[in-house]
Amino acid sequence: MTEHTGQKWQQDKMQELIRFLDEQKQTISEYDDALTRRLVENVYVETATSFRVKFKSGTEVEV
């Protein structure tokens, strides 16, 4: 996969994630297993007090 193709794929996945969240009819106020499985690719435990979430869009967030 070329760098451009990789960037395009990540942009497409991010737009898909944004559309999906925008389509939700109610505020997400509690854990939803189906939603988590649709959005999250992996969770990496970094230390006892921090972890990193990798979304299926390719975006990673440290918590």
Q: What is the DSSP string of 12-60?
A: HHHHHHHHHHHH-SS---S--HHHHHHHEEEEEEEETTEEEEEETTS-E
What is the tens place of the pLDDT at every residue in 10-44?
888 888 888 888 887 788 789 989 889 988 999 99
| pLDDT (0 to 100) of residue 1 | 59
Whole-angstrom CA distances from 1 to 4, 18, 55, 58 are 8, 24, 19, 15
Question: For the chain, what is the domain count?
Answer: 1
Domain that holds residue 12: 3-62
Model pTM score: 0.64
| pLDDT (0 to 100) of residue 44 | 96
**Residue 53 contacts residue 61 (beta carbons within 8 Å):** yes
| pLDDT (0 to 100) of residue 14 | 81
H-only helix segments in 24-52:
33-39
